[in-house]
């Protein structure tokens, strides 16, 4: 899913639900600023794969929240 679509129309203080996990909008905006464009949840591993044209990474819920 596209990160831009997840955060569209939402404020920094809000969260978005992805695969049953609440992710902070402000953290997702930081990922976009760093070049990430897509996000895919892995529920069993409780991780998220994020990628863009020049970057890729796998992050836990806590690692995403720490991007505030």
Contact 63, 41 (CB under 8 A): no
Eight-state DSSP code of residue 53: S
> How many domains does the chain fold into?
1
What pLDDT, on the 0 to 100 scale, is given for residue 68?
79
pLDDT at 22: 95
pLDDT of the residue at 5: 97
Distance CA(68)–CA(45), nearest Å, equals: 22
pLDDT digits (tens, 9 = 90+) for 19-55: 999 999 999 999 999 999 999 999 999 999 999 999 9
Contact 23, 64 (CB under 8 A): yes
Range of the domain at 16: 3-65
């Amino acid at each position: 899913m596209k990160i831009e679509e997840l955060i569209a129309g939402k404020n920094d203080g809000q969260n978005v639900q992805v695969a049953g996990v609440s992710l902070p909008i402000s953290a997702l905006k930081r990922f976009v600023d760093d070049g990430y464009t897509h996000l895919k949840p892995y529920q069993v591993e409780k991780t998220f794969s994020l990628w863009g044209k020049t970057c890729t990474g796998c992050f836990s819920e806590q690692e995403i929240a720490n991007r505030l």
